[in-house]
């Protein structure tokens, strides 16, 4: 057994090596590295897979968020409701555009924005609710959709971690990221659908938003050298699109395997009273298990992580500090569940290529840590 990794990208490359080499060759021979048929074909294939009208490939998941917000035509000072326990890309994009992030606490049950706390944060400047489908579970888009509709707000989904999760509600139904007005994802290499560099995409069923987002991502131009709005240079390149086209047909099997790994972890840890295992799904959402994240109830999180590191087992703290306490965008607010989670969470290795042998080694060491 080699060294255990959080995500084993080399093993995945070995699986798809010959198809990926063919894809590289195809692009190199075509000479079309930016835009072109490889990108548009990938966008169409992903749109079919997710059952969404428009997919717009962009340079990364952070740009996708920024462009999606720009497409909504907001004004400086407008407020965007976001979870306090999440990745930094969303508040970053919000603040770069002169908008105001309004942090809302998450639920300990699923790590997702707590819909019960949203209404109290809505003001006459609120324009967007932006859930982050953290760790691979889709937030309750039925409830969020209802709140958004009642208050005339946009719903922007950050689906960077939830590619492959399905939401089956009464109000809306479909793939994570395609359920609000506009959604985004990341193809960062370690993501559920990852490329070999940076990449991202925007999803929408709205023709006008799609056209605006496409224009903004390409220097604000619809027609070459005619710049209608201020835009960005944010394009998914052809090599990345070609790699994603190799992996896309395997997405369902990746998610299936991630769920198998999660199930084995949960079955193994159920008896350890210090550990709170994550939900395997929610009432309405399947889990894409981008991360398998435990809550450690007895204050032993850091000791466990050090113990595992000594045994050659990696683990990660997603995230060590909530967004409202980050130096770059801090507020004086107390947001208790998010703050507590940052002290208590630990994420274990999970990826489709994690072998049973590796997983049993991880489980064995966690069990032995709590026995001692």
Ligand X SMILES: Cc1ncc(COP(=O)(O)O)c(C=O)c1O
Q: How far is the CB of 190 from ligand X (least distance, A)?
A: 8
Nearer to ligand X, 138 or 359 (CB): 138
Q: How far is the CB of 309 from ligand X (least distance, A)?
A: 22
| CA 208/CA 227 separation, integer angstroms | 17
Nearer to ligand X, 159 or 366 (CB): 159
User: Which runs of consecutive H residues, i.e. helices, occur in 231-355?
Assistant: 238-247, 251-269, 301-310, 336-344
Hey, CA dihedral for 99, 105, 107, 111, is it positive or negative? positive
| CA 124/CA 139 separation, integer angstroms | 24
Query: With contact defined as beta carbons under 8 Å apart, do 323 and 82 qualify?
Result: yes
Q: From residue 10, how far is each of 2, 163, 216, 219, 356 by CA, in Å?
A: 12, 21, 35, 35, 17
Residue nearest to ligand X (CB): 61
Query: With contact defined as beta carbons under 8 Å apart, do 118 and 156 qualify?
Result: no
Q: How far is the CB of 254 from ligand X (least distance, A)?
A: 17
User: Which runs of consecutive H residues, i.e. helices, occur in 33-140?
Assistant: 37-50, 61-71, 89-96
Residues near ligand X, by CB under 6 A: 60-62, 86-87, 89, 132, 158, 160-161, 186, 188, 198, 200
Q: Between β-strands 126-129 and 79-83, what pairing exists: parallel, antiparallel or unpaired?
A: parallel
Nearer to ligand X, 180 or 269 (CB): 180
Roughly how many angstroms between the first and final C-alpha of the chain, as a whole number?
Answer: 25
| CA 77/CA 121 separation, integer angstroms | 15
Nearer to ligand X, 193 or 296 (CB): 193
Q: How far is the CB of 361 from ligand X (least distance, A)?
A: 27
Nearer to ligand X, 20 or 201 (CB): 201
Q: How far is the CB of 22 from ligand X (least distance, A)?
A: 25
Q: How far is the CB of 369 from ligand X (least distance, A)?
A: 28
| CA 205/CA 178 separation, integer angstroms | 7
Query: With contact defined as beta carbons under 8 Å apart, do 62 and 86 qualify?
Result: no
Nearer to ligand X, 186 or 315 (CB): 186
Q: How far is the CB of 113 from ligand X (least distance, A)?
A: 12
Nearer to ligand X, 50 or 86 (CB): 86
């Amino acid at each position: 057994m080699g060294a255990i990794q959080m995500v084993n990208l080399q093993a995945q490359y070995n699986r798809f090596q010959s198809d990926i080499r063919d894809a590289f060759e195809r692009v190199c021979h075509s000479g079309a590295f930016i835009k072109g048929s490889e990108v548009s074909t990938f966008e169409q294939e992903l749109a079919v897979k997710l059952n969404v009208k428009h997919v717009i490939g962009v340079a990364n998941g952070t740009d996708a968020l920024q462009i999606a917000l720009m497409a909504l035509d907001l004004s400086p000072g407008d407020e965007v409701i976001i979870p306090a326990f999440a990745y930094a890309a969303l508040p970053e994009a919000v603040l770069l555009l002169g908008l105001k992030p309004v942090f809302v606490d998450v639920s300990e049950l699923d790590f997702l924005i707590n819909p019960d706390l949203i209404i109290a944060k809505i003001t006459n400047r609120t324009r967007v609710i932006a859930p982050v489908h953290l760790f691979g579970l889709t937030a309750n888009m039925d409830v969020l959709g209802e709140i958004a509709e009642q208050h005339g707000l946009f719903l922007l989904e950050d689906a960077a971690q939830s590619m492959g999760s399905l939401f089956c509600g009464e109000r809306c139904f479909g793939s994570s990221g395609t359920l609000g007005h506009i959604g985004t994802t990341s193809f960062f290499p370690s993501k559920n659908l990852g490329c070999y560099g940076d990449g991202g995409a925007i999803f929408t069923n709205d023709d006008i938003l799609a056209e605006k987002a496409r224009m903004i991502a390409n220097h604000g131009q619809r027609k070459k050298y005619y710049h209608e709005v201020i835009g960005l240079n944010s394009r998914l390149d052809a090599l990345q699109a070609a790699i994603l086209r190799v992996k896309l047909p395997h997405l369902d099997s990746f998610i299936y395997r991630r769920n198998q790994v999660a199930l084995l972890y949960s079955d193994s840890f159920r008896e350890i009273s210090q550990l709170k295992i994550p939900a395997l799904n929610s009432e309405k959402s399947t889990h894409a298990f981008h991360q398998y994240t435990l809550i450690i109830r007895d204050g032993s999180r850091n000791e466990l992580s050090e113990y595992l590191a000594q045994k050659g087992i990696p683990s990660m703290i997603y995230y060590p500090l909530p967004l409202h306490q980050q130096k770059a965008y801090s507020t004086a607010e107390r947001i208790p569940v998010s703050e507590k989670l940052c002290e208590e969470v630990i994420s274990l290795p999970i990826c489709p290529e994690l072998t049973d042998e590796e997983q049993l080694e991880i489980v064995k060491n966690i069990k032995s840590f709590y026995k001692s």
